[in-house]
Every structure is written in C-alpha cells, then in structure tokens.
Amino acid sequence: MKKQIKKTITLLLAVIMVLSLAGCSGKNGGSADAGDRTVVYYAASYVTAQVRDSYLELIESYNNGQGKEDGVYVQMTDNAGAISGLDSALRSNYMYDVIQLSDGEYKALAMQGGNYFVALDEYLTDEVKTAMQWEQIPENLVNRFRMNTTADSNGLFTAGEGTSLLALPNGSNPQMLYYNKKILEQCGINIVSVPESELATYNSENGASLKAHGYAEYKEAPYVDAKSSKNETGEFVYKVFNECIAMNWEELRCVARAFQKQYGYEYGYMSEWWFNYGFSVGGDCVGWDDAAGQYKFTLTDKQANYLALTDITVNGRNYSKGDVLFYEDKTFLNNNASEKSALNGKIYELPSQYDAILEFNRLGVPADKQADTGVMGYGVAPSTTANRTARFTSGTDCPLLVEDFSQAASFKGILGDALGMAMPAQYREYVGGSTYTKGGTEYLKVIGETYNGAVYTGDLHMEGDTAIVGEAATESDGKGLFIPANTKNKIYDAAFKFASWVAGPKGQAILAKGNSAVPNQTSYGLGEYATSEDRIISNMWAGAYMAQKADIGDYTYFTTVTWITEWSQTFNSDVREGKMTLTDFINAKIEVANTSLKGMRFRIVGR
C-alpha cells in the first residue's frame, strides 16, 4: 500500500510539473507527422501573446522543412513566464530536450548542478558555424551564456569570455530611446535618419552638410527643405534630430530642458537606468579587485577610464582602435605606472564611472538641489520613473523615454506613427566642446556660429584618426537555448540541430516577426530586418545597432540580487531626489555593499 501511494504521489508531481510549465498555453508540433524522426521536446519560456504566433510558425517551419533533413521533429510547450521547479527537475529524467532560459536565470542552476546543462562548444563545428552565421553574432551576447560549472580552487565560478558555452543566444532585447515624433515636429525639430557610417555619402548625394550629432542646431540649413525655428536663446536655427546617431550627454540635457522651458512639457526625458552612461565610458557598479579576490562596489569610482587610440594589448587582453577598456584593465593601468607610461599616446582618458553616474543622476535631481557637493541637478527628468510608460504614451508629459526594445509593439499600439526609436545617449566629444554659457545658463553651440573668435564646426574631436566617442552600449535582456544533460532521452545531437537552427538566420528571421527581440545576426539585423515590411516602426535599425554592444544589467551579474538591495533603495530614492549627495551615499553604503559582494562566488571575465 505504501509503495502504491508513493508511486501515485510521484506520478502526480510529474503531472503538476508539466502543467506548471504549460501555464495557459499549450503544445504545438507543427502540421507534419513525426514518423520515424527523433522527437525533441522544447520548453519555450517567456512566450507572451505578442510573440506566440511567431513561435508557432517557428516550430511549423522547422518540422516541415529543416527538421525533415535533420531527421528531427519538435514538440513545443510554451509558457508566458519562467519555467518553475527547474532546480529539482533538471537532476534526472527531465522530459524536455531543449529549454529556453533568460540570461539572469541559469547561473544559479548551473552552480547547483555541475551537469545540469550540456556544454555546447564541441557541437560548434565549422559547418555549424557557417550555417548559423556564427561570426555575425555579437561576442558579448554569446559570452553572457558562457560559464564554467565547476568552482575553481578559490571556490569561485567563472563566467564570460573563455569559459564553457552553455546555451545558444536567442535574440537580444536592448534598452532604446523612444521619442514622440509629433512632439519633436511641433517643437520645430527636423527629424532625419542617417547612420553615422553613411553620413558622408548622404551629404555628397544630397548636397547636405549634416554633422555626426544626435541632436544639433545649425545656423544655415543643413539640407534642402529643413525648417527653421527659434531656439531657447531666441535665435532662428535649424534643429535636427538624427535617430540613427546617439546624442551626447550635453545634447540630451539641453534638448530635454528645452522641452520644459521653451515648450512647456513637465519633463524632457525619463530613464530608470544608468547603464548607457556607465557602459559608454567603461564604467560599472562592480569591479574585480584581484588583491582582495572579490568584487568591489565601484558605482562612484573616480579613476579615469580609457579609450584605445590604436590596437593595443593591456593586461593580456587585445583591444582594437576605438575600444573602451574593461574595468579590470583600466584599473591595471592606473595601478601600474610603467605599463601606463608605455601606452602614452595610445590611450585617451575618458570620464570616470563617478562622472558618468553623476551626469545621469543630475538629470533627475531638481535644479535647486545638489547632486553632489557644489554640483546642482539639471531637473530635466523626474526623480522617480514610476508610471513612466503612461507619462510617455500620454503625449503630453515627456517626449523622450529609455525603455526595452520589446515595448515597441505596445507603444506603437498607443502612439501609432508618432512613435520613434533612437539610440540612448553616448559619450561623444566635439571640437571646441558642445556648449557655451550665457547669463549663467548652459546652451548648445550652434553649428556655424562664432564663439570666442572661432567658428563652431560641430566636428568630432579626433586624436589622429580615432574619434573620441565612447561605446554605443546599454543593457539588454537575452534568452538562451539550453540542452539539459539529465533528460530521459539524452538526444543531444538532435536537440542541438534544432537549437542551432533557431539561433541561426532562418529561425531568427521568423522570431523577429514578434517584434520583441533583435535577431542575433548583425548583418541581418542591420540589413534585411531593419528594412523589412514587418518592422513595427521605421527605425528598427537602431535596435540592431545597440544590440551589438549591449550587455547584462547589474541585476543579472550574479545568482542573486541581494548585493543590490543593500544600497539600491537609497540610491533610487534619496540620491535621485537630491536628498543625499553621491559622496554621502558612497560613504554610507560602500562598506555594506562590499560586504554583500563577498558572498558572490562568481567571477565574470572582463567585469
């Protein structure tokens, strides 16, 4: 009797596990009959109503096409959210052969069981890489799914560059700058869409004189049919917003203020996240301290960051011209005078992480309060970003918002053709600086005007043939296709055939129809995908461009976010509201943050 009860309970638990995965969705294996093909069971998580049709088409296309050649037939169980109960289900006889997890989920699972996931490097033959267009997948997107599942002699698990590949990336969801086209046009701002790499050709073919700016004001019309309007100082100028080039820090804060002061909007800009500011100059909120053997809290680190002016090697890592150095390598230079001296003329000093977080924070700190001692806020953004979606989509409150790429479809449903997408702000230097002061107020320089005896050209600051610009980088969420090791069938070869097809150009092209993630392959993302009739808004190119350098956010670095909770509430309330200065914040929180980081048994190469 006891044995029968035990068997019944085991069966019920198995049924519950399957039902918890399926949620309100269900199974779909396409229209073809499996026949004698190997059946692969696929658990697809985060398949919302917005993208479900594209996932159903994915399975049908594979089963009726490549699956026949592979001898593989796929049955999918989809769920609108995460897969529950994996920490126990993956230990043995798991029913699914391919599972989809977010880049923030798998690390804790991998640490719990060294054999939970199949390492995929050995499956990436030259033939497979060619079929997947592997060289077109951004390295940083691949690296977020790399991790060694066995701790080193110090008890640390290593992830990132050079470690084992545990999943194939399945798209990227970068943070973007959304804007309201109708508002910009009503404010006399001309909108163009010309990538920086195509600017010279565009100017030549159209008799234009556009400069490499995200937002700029020109004394003379930079192209035919550009409309003039008054700027904040009352001058008639030609205002141009280029949705394919990121604004620099000065341009963003000045145009955001203009929306408030000149055009009467409550705010000019909103963002919950600082990532594009810190990442652009190589900063972060944690950095590896080799001497201490742990991560340290670096949110307000005042050490300079560096831009490579030529191809160089630092601390054993190779950098190409125009790359921004990783935190651990810039720290290596700052701590080794001889190494730094040897690179004289080969690196350029960029703002520190403190400079970046201060600039970001000043946007939301009211203009009558200090962001740090003696440094006032700009007051062009709300101190809190609660209800930010409603404030943006209302069309009456704020015309600029940083939000996930995946929000494009819902924003489009509300704003229609008024919705625009551009790249978040980036660190960029221009000859002579971007601004001047008049009557104690900072204004953008007008291209073609004279300041202190020199005409402002709007040209990028160059050191040799290297432009002084930071990385066009921000945070992105990513999903990975994992092959569980402890499945009932252990059909790894068949599972990989399907997973590699999904992560390849044909699978990505189908999933891209869901408009919730940028496809993996850069050439496709910047090319056919960006110009496809299926695109939800015109400038999908910007999403593909940002996905190239996008990275994981701080809440995804480790296996838990407890190290963040010790300081984030204070930062996101008192500091952003101007009730506590950045200096007071770091003095109050650095010790508790570093103590929390001691418990993170993790090492991410490069961070």
d(CA 478, CA 467) in angstroms, rounded, equals 30
Q: Label residue 472 exposed, middle or buried (CB < 10 Å: 0-12, 13-18, 19+).
A: buried
Q: First-to-last CA distance in the chain? A: 57
pLDDT attached to residue 74: 97
Which H helix or E strand runs over 289? strand 286-289
H helices, E strands: number in the chain: 24, 29
| Averaged confidence pLDDT in the chain | 92
Query: For the chain, which domains are there?
Result: 21-173+477-555 (3.40.190.10), 194-242+430-458 (no CATH)
CA distance 410 to 244: 22
List the structure tokens of 407. Answer: 């929000």
pLDDT at position 364: 97
Q: What is the mean pLDDT of residues 254-277?
A: 96
Q: Name the amino acid, one letter, at 403.
A: E
Per-residue pLDDT reduced to its tens digit, 483-507: 999 999 999 999 999 999 999 999 9
SS3 350: strand
Measure the CA dihedral 373/378/382/388, to 10°.
-130
CB 353 within 8 A of CB 574: no
pLDDT single digits (tens) 323-366: 999 998 999 999 999 999 999 999 999 999 999 999 999 999 99
pLDDT tens, 102-135?
A: 999 999 999 887 789 999 999 999 999 999 999 9
Q: What is the pLDDT of residues 90-99, one digit of tens each?
A: 999 999 999 9
Per-residue pLDDT, 535? 83
List of residues 6+ apart from 405 with CB closer than 8 A: 172, 173, 174, 175, 176, 476, 516, 517, 518, 543, 546, 547
Question: What proportion of the chain, given as a percentage, has pLDDT over 70?
Answer: 95
Over 80: is that where the pLDDT of 23 sits? no
Packed helices 249-261 and 353-364: angle between N→C axes, nearest 10 degrees = 10
Helix axes 353-364, 582-598, angle to 10 degrees: 120
Asked if pLDDT for residue 378 goes beyond 90, the answer is yes
Query: 579, exposed or middle or buried, with CB in 10 Å at 0-12, 13-18, 19+?
Result: middle
pLDDT, one tens digit per residue, over 388-441 is 999 999 988 999 999 999 999 999 999 999 999 999 999 999 999 999 999 999
* Residue 32 binned pLDDT confidence (cut-offs 50, 70, 90): low
Place 274 in a pLDDT band, splitting at 50, 70 and 90.
very high
SS3 443: strand
Q: How far apart are CA 381 and CA 360, in angstroms?
A: 10
480 sits in which H/E element: strand 476-482
Burial 231-241 (b: 16+ CB within 10 A, else e): bbeeeebbbbb
* Six token digits for residue 263: 């055009």
Q: What is the pLDDT of residue 531?
A: 87
pLDDT bracket for residue 27 (50, 70, 90): low
Residues 129, 132, 137, 141, CA torsion sign: negative
Residue 120 φ then ψ, to 5° = -100, -5
Predicted local distance difference test score (pLDDT) of residue 9? 38
pTM of the model: 0.93
Q: Which two tokens stand for residue 313?
A: 């090697």
Residues 536 and 411 sit within 8 Å (Cβ to Cβ): no
State the greatest distance between any 2 C-alpha atoms of the chain, in Å, as a whole number.
97
Question: How far apart are the C-alpha atoms of 63 and 264, rounded to whole Å?
Answer: 56
pLDDT at 31 over 70: no
More confident residue, 53 or 386: 53
Q: Which sign, positive or negative, has the C-alpha torsion 269, 270, 274, 279?
A: negative
The Cα 411–Cα 389 span in angstroms is 9
**Rounded CA Rg of the chain:** 26
Could you report the per-residue pLDDT of 1-21, keeping only the tens digit for each? 333 333 333 443 343 344 344
pLDDT for residue 8: 39
pLDDT at 198: 97
Burial group, residue 384, by CB count within 10 angstroms (0-12, 13-18, 19+):
middle
pLDDT at 14: 41
Residue 179 has pLDDT above 80, yes or no: yes
| Strand stretches in 355-430, DSSP E | 370-372, 375-376, 400-404, 419-422
| Residue 6: predicted pLDDT | 37
Tokens for 251, please give them: 């341009």
Half-sphere exposure for 152 (CA within 13 Å, toward CB): 12
Q: Helices 492-502 and 52-64: crossing angle, nearest 10°?
A: 120
Q: What is the pLDDT of residue 64?
A: 96
